[in-house]
Amino acid sequence: RQRSVTPEATTADQSTPVDHSTPADSAQAQSTKSDSAHPADQPRVTTVFISSLPRTFTSADVEAFLGGPTQATNISMQIDKAGEFHGRATASMQSASALIAALDKNNTVVDGHHISVHIYKQHAKPVETTVAVRGFAANATNKQIAEIAKPAGTIVRVRRNQSGDTAFVVMHSYGDAVRAEAALNGCVLDECTLDASIVKSGRAATAKQKDAKEASVTSLAPRKVARRPAKKVGVLKTAPAQEPSSASTEAKSNAEFRQLFLGSDSKP
């Protein structure tokens, strides 16, 4: 028996595409697409932290230790508040293979130092630090002072005090402020020798703590009383304790206490 085929069924079979691919083929295609979007040699973390370096190391020595300029860039030698190097630095690696090679150098011994190499963890943003500048001429401008401090790092702003005899150069970080202080201090500007020093933030913190301590002492006092000077606030004085009389200190017998509490009618 022959089955008849309608024209509508024939048209539907020809127009509907059939997917003969397996789920494994689809997963492989998606993986190939993902790999092309994210190259294998593109690292997610490119910065390493190197510590325990010899104190005599320079940025060129760190660069050579990490494989040269083709492997490491942006070498940053970390210094303390006194401007001294204590064997710590950071570097940006150019590729994933360079990053892996740098991490493999962890615990390498150089000049008796066991050098440590780890992935750098970003800390809080640098704290702006101010350098106070004095001793300049009255006609000196903030722009002239900024030109002297510019090679030291990033300048946030330059301002003057009310009298105009002190300029405050706000630097982006403490390290920039240390270098700016060294550049400004002793520099001659319009035949005047500049005197520069870093503004210590500890004084402001100490003053705030002192104010908070004084406020806590008067927190329970009325507002008007707390605002008065100490010499105007009256202090309550307790009356001096009276010395006990000889009669109260004399020893009494039980009969005398009975006579005292029960009255004169009671008999001992």
Evaluate if residue 11 carries a pLDDT over 50: no
Tell me the C-alpha distance between 66 and 73, whole Å: 10
Q: Count how many Cα atoms sit within 13 Å of the Cα of residue 71 in the half-sphere of its side chain.
A: 16
pLDDT at 135: 94
pLDDT at 141: 93
> Which of 36-40, 112-116, 118-122 shows the lowest mean pLDDT across its residues?
36-40
pLDDT at 36: 45
The CA-based dihedral angle spanning residues 33, 34, 38, 44, taken in that order and rounded to the nearest 10 degrees: 180
pLDDT at 238: 59
- Percent of the chain at pLDDT > 90 equals 37
What pTM was computed for the model?
0.34
Paired residues of 267 in beta bridges: none
SS3 track for the chain:
CCCCCCHHHHHHHHHCCCCCCCHHHHHHHHHHHHHHHCCCCCCCCCEEEEECCCCCCCHHHHHHHCCCCCCEEEEEEEECCCCCEEEEEEEEECCHHHHHHHHCCCCEEECCEEEEEEECCCCCCCCCEEEEEECCCCCCCHHHHHHHHHHHCCEEEEEECCCCCEEEEEECCHHHHHHHHHHHCCCEECCEECEEEECCCHHHHHHHHHHHHHHHHCCCCCHHHHHCCHHHCCCCCCCCCCCCCHHHHCCCCHHHHHHHHHCCCCCC
pLDDT tens per residue, range 198-228: 998 644 444 444 444 544 444 455 555 445 5
Q: What is the mean pLDDT of residues 236-259?
A: 63
Q: What is the mean pLDDT of residues 235-249?
A: 57
pLDDT tens per residue, range 135-167: 999 999 999 999 999 999 999 999 999 999 999
CB contact at 8 A, 235 and 168: no
Evaluate if residue 134 carries a pLDDT over 90: yes
- Packing angle, helices 142-149 and 174-184, rounded to 10: 110
Q: Which domains does the chain have, with CATH numbers?
A: 47-119 (3.30.70.330), 129-200 (3.30.70.330)
What does the mean pLDDT of the chain come to?
75
> Which of 121-130, 132-141, 173-182, 196-205 shows the lowest mean pLDDT across its residues?
196-205
